[in-house]
Structure 1
Amino acid sequence: MRTWLVDLDDLDADEPDRADEGVLTEEERWRGAQFAHPLPARRFLRSRLAVRHLLGERLGVPPAELRIARLPDGKPYLPDHAGLHISWSRSGGLLLLGASGSGSIGVDIEVRRPVPSPLNVLATVYPDLPAAARPESFLPAWTLLEAAVKATGRGLSRGARDVDLRFEATGEVTLRGIRGPGPGPGAWSGRTDVLPARTGTPAAVVAVVVRGEVTGTIAPCVSTGRYEQVC
């Protein structure tokens, strides 16, 4: 398993994005054009460029030739590289990309921010909240839920209730398991971590859920400039 963190607002501002126009598909460019404001449009296009460049580098494939498709439920996959499972998530100007060669993967990132009535929001998708749930449990629980349903491909509204979370009185949230059938053999595991704020980049909570075991912390390779990686 490998994860990358990309600061979408720190990608070489002096180099026009049009230099990479040939890398994106017509559908990706069309989707970028649907945004009403330039900042989210730029972040979307740069996120797709980053996904293509980073996965292309890992696979030894030119970014423009990397085929990315989606299952009917929206889960992305690589038709020409079935052995590499992928997932990505955007929040604000940050992109988290994950890839696993050993089974399905789901990732999520959420920039730390105030959330009004966080437990009420969480209960809309995860109604069986225990008494140990705290307001500070919200982002760890939400990112784990998002990562889990991306890994299974079931979607948040359909799959969140199949996710079994453990809430600690400290606010920590861990994944106990996921009920029901899923892609591939083996047990699910997952974890969350906090990425501290850096100059120009807010703090964020990240989560990864995979088949197998997630050990240690989630330490993404940071990609800035033209996707220069610092691990």
Structure 2
Amino acid sequence: MQTWLVNLDAKEPTWARDGALTEEERRRGAEFADTLLARRFLRSRLTVRHLLGERLSVPPAELHIAYHPGGKPYLPDHAGLQISWSRSESLLLLGASSSGPIGVDIERQRPVPTPLDVLATVYPALPAAVGPESFLPAWTLLEAAVKATGRGLSRGARDVDLVFDVMGAVALRGIRGRGLGAWSGRTGVLPAQGGTPAAVVAVVVQGEMVGSCLSSVKVRP
């Protein structure tokens, strides 16, 4: 398993000008009315292509990325590598696994109005004693879990079984009805550094995860 963290607002690397985007990606970028949002979207797609191409020794422009009906990305020409990515403002988190499904999520740390009400809309089993400090760990774990299964929050969040402790930590107990293999997930806090804002990240994989999710995160330009 590998995960990469990229600040999309950092200085643009040379490879980001190599024209590896598809016509569809360019069309989607052109739909943004806001120039900053458009630039972040286009750079995120270039970054995904660059990092995965580097991993697979494939030119970024030749990497075929497709999507399942629920929106989960996959690589038709490289079925042995499963992928997931997430964006939060200027931050991109990309994950890849050669041992089974993977889901990743990142959320920049920020105030969220009525966080528990928001969480309960997708996770009605929220225990009454849970405090607002559990919101981002729980939300990122839910997002990562449903990205791993390909079901999305609206359909898949209620299949996710979370465990909350009194200190605000959240863990993944499992995902109901999603195959024989055990699922494991971790959350962690990435502190602000070098112009990159603080964020909460989550990684979910099928099978056992060795170490923390932060231990696999590589910060890339």
TM interval, shorter chain, is over 0.9
The answer on 1:81 being equivalent to 2:93 is: no
The answer to whether the aligner puts 1:64 opposite 2:66 as a matched pair is no
* Cα deviation code 1:22-71 (max 9, x no counterpart): x0000000000111101010000000000000000000000000000000
Tell me the alpha carbon deviations over residues 1-28 of structure 1, each in whole angstroms, 9 at most, x when there is no partner: 0000011111327x696x332x000000
Please state if 1:108 is matched with 2:105: yes
Q: Secondary structure of 1:124's partner?
A: helix
The 5-angstrom pairing of residues 190-201 of structure 1 reads 190-201=185-196
Say if 2:201 is the partner of 1:203. Answer: no
Q: Is the 8 A contact 1:132 1:168 kept in 2?
A: no
Label 1:78 to 1:16 Cα distance change in 2 as closer, same or farther (>3 A): closer
Matched residue, 1:2: 2
Q: Flag as ranges the 4+ runs of structure 1 deviating above 2 A.
A: none
SS of 2:9's partner is coil
Matched to 1:6, the amino acid is: V
Letter in 1 for 2:219: V
- For normalisation by structure 1, the TM-score amounts to 0.92
- Give the alignment partner of residue 145 of structure 1, picking from 136, 142, 147: 142
Query: What do the CA deviations read for 1:75-128 (whole angstroms, capped 9, x no partner)?
Result: 000000000000000001010000000000000000000001100000000011
Paired-residue identity, %: 74
Structure 1 residues 194-219: Cα deviation after superposition (integer angstroms, max 9, x where no partner): 00001211100000000111222223
* Aligned counterparts of 2:93 and 2:15: Cα–Cα separation in 1: 23
Task: Write out aligned runs for 1:1-231 (5 A).
Answer: 1-12=1-12, 19-21=17-19, 23-182=20-179, 185-217=180-212, 218-219=214-215, 220-224=217-221
Partner SS for 2:122? coil
| Cα distance in 2, alignment partners of residues 99 and 11 from structure 1 | 24
RMSD: 1.3
TM-score (norm 2): 0.96
Q: Which runs of 5+ in 2 are unaligned?
A: none
Equivalent residue pairs, number: 219
Which AA in structure 1 matches 2:158?
Answer: R
Q: How far apart, CA to CA, are the structure 2 residues paired with 1:162 and 1:181?
A: 9
* 1:53/1:63 contact within 8 Å kept: yes
Q: How many angstroms does 1:180 deviate by? A: 1.2
Query: Which residue of structure 2 aligns with residue 228 of structure 1?
Result: none
When residues 153 and 16 of structure 1 are mapped into structure 2, their CA distance, relative to the original with a 3 A threshold, is: closer
User: How many Å separate the matches in 2 of 1:20 and 1:33?
Assistant: 18
Give yes or no for contact 1:95–1:109 (8 Å, CA) kept in 2: yes
| Structure 1: gaps (5+ residues) | 225-231
In 2, Cα distance between equivalents of 1:213 and 1:137: 23
Residue 174 of structure 1 deviates from its aligned partner by: 0.3
